[in-house]
Amino acid sequence: MRVHLRVPPTKKLGNPRGLPIVYSGIRTGITGENHLIYRPAIVENSREIYPSMRTIYKDDDWLNEPQFVPSFDVGEHVYFFFREIHGNVHLLFRVSHLGNLSSS
C-alpha cells in the first residue's frame, strides 16, 4: 500500500513575531462538508496572541468542493494548489486554482 502525505507548510517569515505557524487546506464538519484554508491561533508562552484565521465557513463563492493538492511556502506567502467545481446547474466541471495567502 502506498501512502502519500501532504505536509502543510510551516511559515515563520511574515508571521507576527516571526513565530512558526502551519497553514492548511482542510475539510471539517461531521461529514467533511466544509472546506477551508486555516491557520491556527498564534500562541506564545501559553498565551494566544493572535486568533485563528480561516476562509468563510460554508461559502461556495470562496471554495466550492476543493481538492487540495500541494502547498508551498515562498517568502512571506503560502501558495495552495487546488481543483474545485465551477459552472452552473447545466454544466459543472473542475478547474485548477492557485490560492495565494500573505502571512503578514
Whether residue 5 is contained in a domain is answered as no
32: left (phi over 0), alpha (psi -120 to 50) or beta: left
Q: Give how many domains the chain has, as a whole number.
A: 1
Q: Which triple of cell numbers denotes residue 73?
A: 511556502
Whether residue 1 is contained in a domain is answered as no
Q: Which residues neighbour 53 within 8 Å (Cβ) at sequence distance 6 or greater? A: 38, 39
**What global pTM score does this model have?**
0.64
pLDDT digits (tens, 9 = 90+) for 24-76: 888 888 887 788 888 888 888 899 998 988 887 766 667 788 888 877 777 77
Whether residue 36 is contained in a domain is answered as yes
pLDDT digits (tens, 9 = 90+) for 1-29: 343 345 455 666 667 777 778 888 888 88
| Domain enclosing residue 43, as ranges | 10-102
pLDDT of res. 5: 40
